Amino acid sequence: MVRLLRTQIAFGQLPNFRIVHFCVQSNHLHLIAEADGKLALADGVKRTKTRIARRLNRALHRSGSFFDQRYHRRSLSTPREVRNALCYVINNERHHADERGEVLPATWFDPFSSAPWFDGWSAPLLIDEPWKKTVTQIPRPTELARTWLLRVGWKRHGLIAVDEVPARHATKAKKRQKRRSRDV
């Protein structure tokens, strides 16, 4: 299924709509896309959803609507917002593992995301297992970012560590930091 989704993401690129990063969850997708306006975004998302739904329905021998809800759109306008969104999408499984009280290995990256093709890691990915080699040899299904914010701007706030857990809420992170400083 993930191969099918990667293929549809690759074919979902349009001159005015580009999927730059993604992660596949059990019941939804996270996408970071660039578009040349609101109409291009709406059209690009609609085409992508339709293409994915048709292919998944065919693969699962079913018919009917596949996506219940309309997509949730959030415009990112600052370097920090873009960095946080990138971390959240690329390391999303770490976020969910943390919520379950699990800790993933430090060198693990999400093979169901665009993590293997991400060029903003704070250190190179460690390709120490056969599955990692297989995933990193797959052709990149996403487009390269064109906007300054998504190409360069977000890096003002630091590159992303492969083992970074996306923060649930800034207030929780601040509380943890305060507790640590009191304990010192």
pLDDT one-digit tens code per residue, 38-85: 999 888 888 888 887 788 778 778 777 766 666 678 899 999 999 999
Which position has the token pair 């996403």? 142
The yes-or-no verdict on residue 174 having pLDDT over 50 is no
For residue 54, the Cα-to-chain-centroid distance in whole angstroms is 22
Please give the residue range of the domain that contains residue 149.
2-183
Residues whose CB falls within 8 Å of the CB of residue 109, separated by 6 or more in sequence, listed in order: 115, 116, 125, 132, 162
pLDDT band at 24 (very low <50, low <70, confident <90, very high): confident
Looking at every residue in the chain, the average pLDDT score rounds to: 85
pLDDT value at position 84? 96
Digit-coded pLDDT (tens) for 130-169: 999 999 998 999 999 999 999 999 999 999 999 999 986 5
Nearest to 160 by CA among 108, 86, 58: 86
Mean per-residue pLDDT for 80-103? 95
- The C-alpha atoms of residue 184 and residue 176 are separated, in whole angstroms, by 13
What is the count of structural domains for the chain?
A: 1
Q: What is the DSSP string of 80-124?
A: HHHHHHHHHHHTHHHHHHHHTT----TT---TTBSGGG-S-BSS-
